[in-house]
Chain A
Amino acid sequence: MSVVSMTVNGKPASADVEARTLLVQFIREQLGLTGTHVGCDTSQCGACVVHVDGRAVKSCTMLAVQAEGADILTIEGLAKNGELHPVQAAFREHHGLQCGFCTPGMIMTAVDMIRRIPELDEETVRDELEGNICRCTGYHNIVKAILAASQEMR
């Protein structure tokens, strides 16, 4: 066991973890932030996407100890002062979710995508969603929501 410390959603977080503890386990089980989901646990589905030092990564494919000193943003850290983040608001507005299981990962991926690519088009959004799987929506409204948020945030 060793102590790992990082910043999670702007607050310092520290806990005693085993080397084998995954970042997603640390976030969910030790910090109680259960908005980050585990869908497949095999790096395929993207339900566990969080931001590590500003970049979207799959938290089921990273050890908590690898994130020592990092700045982590999870779905819980997106809304500010009770106001949904524009991407969250766009997912609601455009019905970008049904069961909602993949949604936290979709939204964290979308926020990262909009940050990296100022001029998004439909093809690019679909391509960028390669690592996120949704079994309900057929992606159509997710793509619409991301394009709308991208416009809104310009």
Chain B
Amino acid sequence: MYQFNYERPKTLADAEALLAKADDPKILAGGQTLIPTLKQRLAMPSDLIDIGGIKDLDFIRAEGDAVMIGAATRHAKVAQSADVKKHNPALAALAAGIGDPAVRHMGTLGGSIANNDPAADYPAACLALDAKIHTTKRLIEADEFFKGMFETALQDSEIIKEVTFPHPEKAAYMKFRNPASRYAMVGVFVSKGPWGIRVAVTGAGQNGVFRVAEMEEALAKNWSPDAVANIKVPARGLNADLHGTAEYRAHLVTVMAKRAVAAAG
């Protein structure tokens, strides 16, 4: 790997100061995407600011009608959390299906959404569950957060502190994994809650996670798998690669949406 500077601040304030000072810094959370990216030199930041030492960012709290999860909370912890399992079992199940067990022991919620990989799972949960993303500077609604492939609303010196997930009445996430990489070819998160009904799709879109308004409207009238069975998203704008055409992914969106509504009950 190439040379870089490494800092491990103990507090958020120190992390912010280090970010502001460095030439071309990058935050290191769990590193499960960033370290492979550095090895391939797809990113070459001058400084890595490791937030793994900031204890305040690692927590899960159920309060009122929401679960708050610290940005540096590992996937395995979310998957096993009694609070998340109780109030938001679809979110716990999603966390339990990210990567593999060793990756889930390191990877973090904040890292996943800050990176916004178009095939990542957490962005679908945030968008479908009307999550609130709290940063060192402001509160960002999930609808405003994801801006396109590997693009978010985050500014350079902004750090995600926690994500608030309001409890859904019904929710489920279904993904069709690529048989080799195991990443989502298509993942669909459906939910019903105080925000109404949401359907969020990951893995399929060239610009990352997106909502399907037509499915949301159909489910509002009739919450059943049949309601989405004949709704097809346009293939234009979907990913096409050696693993599947855009048409194939469009088809999978419908299939996964049906399965997710069935699973949500």
The A interface, classified by DSSP as helix, strand, loop or mixed, is mixed
- Is A93 an interface residue, CB under 8 A from the partner? no
- B28-36, B54-62, B139-147, B192-200 - interface stretch: B28-36
Within 8 A of A (CB), among B1-51: 1-6, 8, 28, 31-32, 35-36, 38-39, 48, 50
Check if A131 sits within 8 Å of B101, measured CB to CB.
yes
- Is B243 an interface residue, CB under 8 A from the partner? no
Known: A56-B105, A68-B8. A20 touches B2 (CB 8 A): yes
How many A residues touch B, CB cutoff 8 Å? 28
Check if A65 sits within 8 Å of B102, measured CB to CB.
no
Check if A66 sits within 8 Å of B101, measured CB to CB.
no
A141 to chain B, nearest CB (A): 20
Check if B105 sits within 8 Å of A55, measured CB to CB.
yes
- Is B99 an interface residue, CB under 8 A from the partner? yes
- Is B76 an interface residue, CB under 8 A from the partner? yes
Q: How far is the CA of A2 from the CA of B99 in the complex (A)?
A: 32
B2 neighbours in A (Cβ, 8 Å): 20
Interface bits B231-261 vs A (CB < 8 Å: 1, else 0): 0000000000000000000000000000000
Which residue from A2, A18, A61, A130 sits with its C-beta under 8 Å from B106?
A61
Within 8 A of A (CB), among B49-79: 50, 52, 76
Which residue from B35, B52, B101 sits with its C-beta under 8 Å from A61?
B35
Check if A63 sits within 8 Å of B32, measured CB to CB.
no
Q: Which of A58, A128, A132 has the most CB of B within 10 A?
A: A58
Check if B101 sits within 8 Å of A62, measured CB to CB.
no
Check if A63 sits within 8 Å of B101, measured CB to CB.
no
Which residue from B4, B38, B101 sits with its C-beta under 8 Å from A109?
B101
- Is A41 an interface residue, CB under 8 A from the partner? yes
A43 neighbours in B (Cβ, 8 Å): 32, 35-36, 103
- Is A112 an interface residue, CB under 8 A from the partner? yes
Interface residues of A (CB under 8 A from B): 2, 18-20, 22, 41-43, 46, 49, 52, 55-58, 61-63, 65-66, 68, 109, 112-113, 128, 130-132
Interface residues of B (CB under 8 A from A): 1-6, 8, 28, 31-32, 35-36, 38-39, 48, 50, 52, 76, 99-103, 105-106, 182
